[in-house]
A and B are shown apart, each in its own frame.
Chain A
Amino acid sequence: MIDLNACVGCSACVVACSAENNIPIMGKEEVAYGREMSWIRIQRYDEGTDERPDHHFIPMLCQNCDNAPCEPVCPVYATYHNPEGLNAQVYNRCVGTRYCSNNCPYKVRRFNWHTAQWPEPLNLQLNPNVTVREMGVMEKCTFCVQRIRGAELAAKEENRDLRDGEIVPACSQTCPTRAIVFGDLHDPESEVAKLAKNPRGYHVLEHLNTQPAITYLKKIKAGPVEG
C-alpha cells in the first residue's frame, strides 16, 4: 500500500532498496541511456505551469500482480507466481529473452546489460542474503523476500504465527512519512488491509486486469472543486 498523500518524493526508498538488494551502480552514461537498475523509482509528473508548479510523485515498483502479464510469456518459468502470491524471479533459470519486461505495463523489470562490477570497497557493502546477479538475467523488486523469509523463520523458531508489521521491506523501513506500508492483505485485521479499504485507494493501470497487489491511495490536490 502506497499513500501518495504522504509521499514527498525524497527517494530514500530508492537508496534503501539499492543498499538492501545489491543493486549495481551503472554509472552516468548508462543511466543517461535509461539503463539504471533501481527496482523502485520515484516517477515525477509536472502538471502545473512555471508560475504555479504542480508536481506529483508516484513510487513505482513491481506490483506483484495476481494476474501478472510477465509470467505466462516466460518460456522457461524463470518468473512465476509462488504460493504466497509473490511474483518470483529465478535468476538461475532466466535465459534473458526479456519478454517479461516488454509485457510489463509498469516497466519495473531491470535487465543486467553487463555483469556489474563491485570494486573495492563496494564489495564490502553487499548484502550476504541477496544474490548478486550476472549479465543477461532479468531482475526486479522481490518485496525483500529475504526479509520475508527471515521473519518467517524467526516466527517458526518461536513456534508462533507471523505478527502484522513484522515484515518490513527496506523501502517501507526507510520511508520518513510512512507512505509505504507492507502486510498481509488476506488478514482483515492487518494495517495494510484496513488502509486498502480507503476510498482513495486505486490500482495503477487497473483496466489491464493485472490485479496488482499494491494499492495506491490517491493524492488529494488543492484546487477548485469540480462539478
Chain B
Amino acid sequence: MAQLTYHQVDSDILRAMQAPGWRYYTLLSIDLIVVAWGIFAWRYTVQHGLGVWGLTHPVMWAMDITNFVFWVGIAHSGTLISAILYLFRVRWRASIYRTAEAVTVFALFTAGLFPIIHLGRPWVFHWLLPYSQFGGLWVNFRSPLVWDVFAVMTYMIISVLFFFTGLVPDMAVVRNRTSGWRQKIYAFMAQGWQGTDRQWRHYKAAYVFLAALATPLVISVHSVVSWDFAQSVVAGWHSTIFAPYFVAGAIHSGLAMVITLLIPLRRIFRLDAYITQQHLENLAKLIILTGLIVGYAYAVETYIAWYSNNVPEWQRFTYQVTGEYAIPFWIMILFNSLVPLLFFVKRIRTSTPWLFAIAILINIGMWMERFVIIVTGLAHEYDPYSWGVFIPTWVDISITLGAFAWFFLWFLLFIKFLPVISIVEVKEELPPPTRSQNGEE
C-alpha cells in the first residue's frame, strides 16, 4: 500500500458510498421482496400456530433454532477479526475488520429474531426478559434459554458499541465531505471529532477497552448457545465437547461468510489495493485451522458414541449417518471438514473463484451442521415408540430465506451509508505524508 496517499484512500473508500446505480436498486428490491415474504410467512405462523411449520412430536425444534445458532455463529468471526486480532496487533486486519464487524452486528440482528420467532406465543416474548413480573416472578435462571438471552444481548450491545466507536474518526472524514442533512447525521455520529491529540488518546483507550470486553465474548457466547443442547438429556446433545466444538464451528462459518462478502465487495468497488489477495489468504489459513478443529470434533463425537457403549448414543449416531437426514450429515462432513483442507494448496487459497466457491460450501455445510445436530438428536431419542421425522414446509423455508435476505438488507444499506473499510486504520499503515510527497501531487 506504499504507493497510496491519504487523499486517495479517502476517495477510494468513499467511492463505495456514492449514489447507487440501477444494479444496486435491483438487488435491493429483490432483497426487500424476500424479506417481505419472510415476514408474511411469520405473520401466517402467528395467525395459525406453529403447526404450519414442519415441527412435530418429538422434533420440537428444527429450522428455527438452526437459524438462530447459525447466525450467532456467523457473528463470531467479526469479533475475532476486529477485537482479538486488534489486541494481538495483527496489522492485516485494518482493511477487513470493518466489514467483518458489520457482519457481526447484522448477524446478531438476524439471530436475535429467532428466539422470538420460534415461540409458540411470541406476543409474550417479554416474559423471557429478566425483570420482576406479576409481582415478583423472575425468569428461571437455571434455564439455558435465559442464559442465551443474556449472552446474545451482551454480545449485541458490546458489538454495536464497538462498531460505532470504531466508526467515529471515519465519520468525521465523511462529515467533512458531505453537506445538508446528511452532514448533520454524520456529524452526530462523529461526535465532534477533530482529530486532536486528546481525542485520539481517549479514542484509543476506549477502543482497547471495548476490544478487551469483546474478546471473551468470542468464546463465551457460542459456548452458552451450545449449552442449550449440552445441558439437556437428549442423546447426541448431552456432550461436554459442545462448547469448544460450537465456538470453532462459529468462527469457521463466520470466516466463510466474511470471505463470501469480501470477494464481491472488492470486485464491485475496485478495492483490490486494500483488500488484497494476502488478506483473503490469511482468512483461508484461519479456515484450515477451524476446519481441522471441527473435523476433530466430528471424529471425537463418533468415537465417544462408540466407546461409551451407550445404546441411545450409538443408535443416534447410526441414525445420523444412515437415516432420513443422512444427506445433510454427509454434506456437513464433506463441506466443513474435508473441502476446507483444499486450502492447504497455495494455488487454491490464492485463487479468488476457489476461495469464493469453498466459502459458499462452508456456509451451506455449517447450516447443515446445526440442522443435523438439532433434528437427528430429537428425532431418535430414548423411546423408540415416539420417534418422528421433521419435514420442512413452505413456511419454514420462507422464514429461513427471509432471514438471509434480512441479513443482506442490512449489509446492502451498510455499503451505501458507512465506509466499508476503516479509513483511519488504513492510513495508519501508510507512511505519513511529507512535504516532498505533497509537492509531487
Q: Which residues of chain A have a CB within 8 Å of any CB of chain B? A: 30, 33-36, 41, 43-45, 60, 69, 72-77, 93-99, 101-103, 105-107, 110-115, 135-138, 205, 208, 210
Is there an interface contact between B49 and A103, defined as CB atoms closer than 8 Å? no
The answer to whether the Cβ of B198 comes within 8 Å of any Cβ in the partner chain is no
29 contacts between A and B (CB under 8 A): A30-B51, A34-B57, A34-B58, A34-B388, A34-B389, A35-B51, A35-B57, A41-B385, A60-B385, A72-B140, A74-B143, A75-B128, A93-B127, A95-B125, A96-B50, A97-B120, A98-B60, A102-B60, A105-B382, A107-B381, A111-B50, A112-B120, A113-B49, A113-B55, A135-B121, A136-B50, A136-B119, A138-B120, A205-B382
Alpha-carbon distance A114/B55, docked complex (angstroms): 12
Is there an interface contact between A77 and B140, defined as CB atoms closer than 8 Å? yes
Is there an interface contact between B50 and A74, defined as CB atoms closer than 8 Å? no
Interface string of B27-50 (1 = CB under 8 A from A): 000000000000000000000111
Contact residues in A for B49 (Cβ distance below 8 Å): 112-115, 135-136
Given contacts A43-B383, A60-B385, A76-B128, contact A114 B60 (CB under 8 A): no
Q: How would you classify the secondary structure of chain A's contact residues: helix, strand, loop or mixed?
A: loop
The answer to whether the Cβ of B206 comes within 8 Å of any Cβ in the partner chain is no
Contact residues in B for A97 (Cβ distance below 8 Å): 118-120, 145
Given contacts A43-B383, A94-B121, contact A69 B56 (CB under 8 A): no
Q: Shortest Cβ distance from A58 into chain B, in angstroms?
A: 8
Name the contact of B119 in the complex, choosing from A33, A74, A95, A205 (C-beta under 8 A). Answer: A95
Contact residues in B for A76 (Cβ distance below 8 Å): 127-128, 139-140
Closest chain B residue to A77, Cβ basis: B140
Q: Shortest Cβ distance from B415 into chain A, in angstroms?
A: 36
Interface centre among A69, A96, A205 (most CB of B within 10 A): A96
Name the contact of A73 in the complex, choosing from B143, B149, B383, B385 (C-beta under 8 A). Answer: B143
Contact residues in B for A33 (Cβ distance below 8 Å): 56
Closest chain A residue to B144, Cβ basis: A73
Q: How would you classify the secondary structure of chain B's contact residues: helix, strand, loop or mixed?
A: loop
The answer to whether the Cβ of B142 comes within 8 Å of any Cβ in the partner chain is yes
Please give 16 more A-B residue pairs, beta carbons under 8 A apart, in addition to A75-B149, A77-B137. Answer: A34-B56, A72-B140, A73-B144, A74-B143, A75-B146, A76-B127, A95-B119, A96-B121, A97-B119, A102-B58, A102-B232, A103-B234, A107-B386, A111-B57, A135-B121, A138-B120
Contact residues in B for A30 (Cβ distance below 8 Å): 51
The answer to whether the Cβ of B61 comes within 8 Å of any Cβ in the partner chain is yes
Is there an interface contact between B231 and A73, defined as CB atoms closer than 8 Å? yes
Is there an interface contact between A75 and B58, defined as CB atoms closer than 8 Å? no
Q: In the complex, which range does the number of interface residues on chain B fall in?
A: 35 or more
Q: Which of B197-251 contact A (CB under 8 A)?
A: 228, 231-234
Is there an interface contact between A101 and B58, defined as CB atoms closer than 8 Å? yes
Is there an interface contact between B119 and A72, defined as CB atoms closer than 8 Å? no
Is there an interface contact between A73 and B51, defined as CB atoms closer than 8 Å? no
Is there an interface contact between B381 and A137, defined as CB atoms closer than 8 Å? no
Alpha-carbon distance A136/B137, docked complex (angstroms): 21
Interface string of B388-411 (1 = CB under 8 A from A): 110000000000000000000000
Closest chain A residue to B233, Cβ basis: A69
Alpha-carbon distance A207/B228, docked complex (angstroms): 22
The answer to whether the Cβ of B378 comes within 8 Å of any Cβ in the partner chain is yes
Q: Shortest Cβ distance from B308 into chain A, in angstroms?
A: 13
Contact residues in B for A136 (Cβ distance below 8 Å): 49-50, 119-121
Q: Which of B43-77 contact A (CB under 8 A)?
A: 48-51, 55-58, 60-61
Is there an interface contact between A101 and B60, defined as CB atoms closer than 8 Å? yes
